[in-house]
Amino acid sequence: MRVRRSAAGGNTSAHTSLPNPLSSFIGRELELAQLEALLRNVRLLTLTGSGGIGKTRLALQVASHAPHDSTQAVRFVDLAPVTDAVGVCEAVAAALHVQEEPDQPLMDTLEQALRPMRLLLLLDNCEHVALACAELASQILRSCPEVTMLATSREPLRIPGETVWRVPSLSAPDENGPANLAAVERSESARLFMDRALAVMPDFALDHSNAQHVAEICRRLDGIPLALELAAARMGMPSLEEVAERLNCALHVLMAGARTAPKRQHTLRSTIDWSYALLSESERALFDRLAVFRGDWGLSAVEAVCAGDGIQQTAVLDLLGGLVAKSLVTIQPVAVGAQRYRLLEVLRQYAAERLERRAEAGQVGKRCVIRAKTDGRFGGSRTRKTADVVQPKRAKTYSDFGRMAYRRFG
Ligand SMILES: Nc1ncnc2c1ncn2[C@@H]1O[C@H](COP(=O)(O)OP(=O)(O)O)[C@@H](O)[C@H]1O
Ligand SMILES: [Mg+2]
């Protein structure tokens, strides 16, 4: 087994490899204290909850404050781009700089590397590979006594030794009576909303005249961080009152449809619908096409794959900037090199649904496959190269190549 030493990847110390979000973290003081205490006693802690509720962000915050001493390393594994069990092992191995041995299953090599380690392993976005994560976590629990895992997943991994912790909404201003300015200021939802709104309108201030509207927006959005960010990004509109009113109307209409899913899921879905409806036609087209990327990606990949069929290559940068400004695309912090972007998984799935219905989906797919082949960046096992090479004739539709595993691509 070889463990490669690398200077890259860490952002706080040689022992940690946590991505450093560009926006500020709000609230969750009680939750952080609880989770930090739990992490001292349990070996597998899974943060669950619907998309956009803040699992990843909370896990990153916990991990960056975890009770690790200088001998405990922290490693972050993004499983969003992974599609199968082999990919899970590969992603963990890559995070630990463990290299595959020629005649040994990668899991065995990983286990040997992990056994002597004092480590906090953050497994982010487990839901779509839950079974593989469950198997990996079980093996680590059995054989690596000093490794603790913090997972995020919409569903628990359901294995012995797992402690499941449901991530709650951010606190919202109380519903009774007129909004009290101090109470609005204190609530986590309003703090997040204000923080993100200030990025769009730097002179915006919470006062007696607008506290009611902020409180209403926060309550309407059920304290879901992603929904609050999407609404705050729309503060360029004439007035806060208008945002509150339009949002209220839009959500009322949008949510009147299906009522089977849990309310928070409905609220987020409707907020994304609302935000999407306010995009220009070109922004919508680009947003939908971005669903073909998994993990994070660069501008040149977007230009190569998403331009065409009504979008000029020269317009891509501006359109992408518009989507970032509206919180639909996230800038991925990188230590060095060109800017990279990503879609939060819940937004990528939304975009994918839309892209499937677009006439140009096949063309986008074709360009994606061509680009991926020149880049040699199809995901999947290094040991199954031939199976992972996409045959262009198979990639006629989005759904065909959508099933392909993409790694960092761009
Ligand atoms: N406590 C928080 N403070 C600031 N931003 C937050 C907080 N919780 C979530 N967010 C932001 O809300 C969005 C959705 O959160 P995320 O952690 O990605 O959700 P999930 O992992 O549950 O899908 C992200 O942009 C994230 O940065
Ligand atoms: Mg997440």
Per residue in 9-49, pLDDT (tens digit) is 333 444 667 888 889 999 999 999 999 999 999 999 999 99
Residues 158 and 204 in one domain: no
pLDDT of residue 370: 80
Residues 327 and 394 in one domain: yes
Cα 143 to ligand 1 centroid, rounded to whole Å: 33
Q: Where does the pLDDT of residue 332 fall: very low under 50, low under 70, confident under 90, or very high at 90 and above?
A: confident
- Is residue 176 included in any domain, yes or no? no
Residues 212 and 254 in one domain: yes
Residues 227 and 343 in one domain: no
User: Count of residues for the chain?
Assistant: 410
Q: What would the mean pLDDT of 195-208 be, rounded to a whole number?
A: 89
- Is residue 248 included in any domain, yes or no? yes
Q: Backbone phi, then psi, for 189, in 5-degree steps? A: -60, -45
Q: Is the pLDDT of residue 4 over 50?
A: no
Tokens of 342: 């990503």
Protein residue closest via CA to atom 8 of ligand 1:
54
- Among 40-49, 131-140, 204-213, 311-320, which stretch is predicted with the lowest mean pLDDT? 204-213
pLDDT of residue 256: 59
Residues 36 and 138 in one domain: yes
Does the beta carbon of 51 sit less than 6 angstroms from any atom of ligand 1?
yes
Among residues 226, 252, 277, the one where a domain terminates is: 277
pLDDT of residue 5: 39
- pLDDT tens-digit map of 78-93: 998 888 899 999 999 9
Q: Backbone phi, then psi, for 39, in 5-degree steps? A: -65, -20
Task: Please state, as a whole number, how many other Cβ atoms lie within 10 Å of the Cβ of residue 116.
Answer: 11
Q: Kindly list the distances between the CA atom of residue 39 and the CA atoms of 47, 49, 120, 139, 153, in Å, as whole numbers in the listed order.
A: 12, 18, 9, 19, 17
Using the Cα atoms of residue 346, residue 348, residue 351 and residue 353 in order, give the sign of their dihedral. Answer: negative
Cα 72 to ligand 1 centroid, rounded to whole Å: 26
pLDDT of residue 257: 56
Does the beta carbon of 346 sit less than 6 angstroms from any atom of ligand 1?
yes
Q: What would the mean pLDDT of 115-138 be, rounded to a whole number?
A: 95
Residues 257 and 302 in one domain: no
**Ligand 1 pocket test target in 18, 57, 224, 344 with most atoms within 8 Å of CB:** 57
Among residues 110, 132, 166, the one where a domain terminates is: 166
- Is residue 407 included in any domain, yes or no? no
**Ligand 1 pocket test target in 60, 222, 226, 323 with most atoms within 8 Å of CB:** 226
Q: Which ligand 1 atom lies nearest to the CA of residue 57?
A: 17
Which positions ≥6 away from 253 have C-beta within 8 Å? Answer: none
Residues 20 and 144 in one domain: yes
pLDDT of residue 67: 59
Q: Where does the pLDDT of residue 162 fall: very low under 50, low under 70, confident under 90, or very high at 90 and above?
A: very high
Tokens of 349: 């799935």
Q: Looking at the 3D structure of the chain, how many domains does it have?
A: 3
pTM: 0.84
Does the beta carbon of 226 sit less than 6 angstroms from any atom of ligand 1?
yes
- pLDDT tens-digit map of 45-78: 999 998 899 999 999 999 998 756 677 899 999 9
What's the rounded Cα separation, in Å, for the pair 216 and 193?
12
Residues 133 and 19 in one domain: yes
Show the domain range for 307: 281-402
What's the rounded Cα separation, in Å, for the pair 157 and 129?
10
- pLDDT tens-digit map of 139-152: 999 999 999 999 99
pLDDT of residue 209: 84
Q: Is the pLDDT of residue 269 over 90?
A: no
Q: Which of 261, 233, 263, 254 is CA-nearest to residue 169?
A: 263
Protein residue closest via CA to atom 9 of ligand 1:
54
Name the pairing type of β-strands 340-342 and 330-332: antiparallel
The CA angle 351-21-372, to the nearest 5 degrees, is: 45
Q: What would the mean pLDDT of 92-98 be, rounded to a whole number?
A: 93
Does the beta carbon of 21 sit less than 6 angstroms from any atom of ligand 1?
yes
Tokens of 256: 């009147």
What's the rounded Cα separation, in Å, for the pair 110 and 100?
8
Q: Average pLDDT of the chain?
A: 82
Name the pairing type of β-strands 98-99 and 2-3: antiparallel
Which positions ≥6 away from 321 have C-beta within 8 Å? Answer: none
| Cα atoms found within 13 Å of the Cα of residue 51, Cβ hemisphere only | 21
- pLDDT tens-digit map of 362-395: 888 888 878 877 776 554 434 333 333 343 444 4
Residues 188 and 39 in one domain: no
Does the beta carbon of 133 sit less than 6 angstroms from any atom of ligand 1?
no
The CA angle 200-213-345, to the nearest 5 degrees, is: 55
- DSSP structure class, residue 2: E
What pairs with residue 152 in β-bridges? 47
Q: Which of 301, 154, 121, 323 is CA-nearest to residue 230?
A: 323
Helix count (H) and strand count (E) of the chain?
Answer: 18, 11
Q: Which ligand 1 atom lies nearest to the CA of residue 51?
A: 23
Residues 121 and 241 in one domain: no
Protein residue closest via CA to atom 16 of ligand 1:
54
| Cα atoms found within 13 Å of the Cα of residue 230, Cβ hemisphere only | 28
- Is residue 409 included in any domain, yes or no? no
- Is residue 173 included in any domain, yes or no? no
Among residues 166, 198, 226, the one where a domain terminates is: 166
- Is residue 408 included in any domain, yes or no? no
Burial of 158: CB neighbours in 10 Å, binned 0-12, 13-18, 19+ = exposed
- Is residue 174 included in any domain, yes or no? no
Above pLDDT 90, what percent of the chain? 44
Q: Is the pLDDT of residue 397 over 60?
A: no
Residues 226 and 346 in one domain: no
- Is residue 245 included in any domain, yes or no? yes
What CATH number is associated with residue 96?
Answer: 3.40.50.300
Q: Is the pLDDT of residue 396 over 90?
A: no
Instruction: Report whether 396 contacts 365 (CB < 8 A).
Output: yes
Better-scored residue on pLDDT, 179 or 355? 355
Cα 394 to ligand 2 centroid, rounded to whole Å: 31
Residues 285 and 273 in one domain: no
What's the rounded Cα separation, in Å, for the pair 308 and 305?
8
Q: What would the mean pLDDT of 163-183 be, rounded to a whole number?
A: 84
pLDDT of residue 68: 60
Q: Which ligand 1 atom lies nearest to the CA of residue 170?
A: 1
Protein residue closest via CA to atom 13 of ligand 1:
226
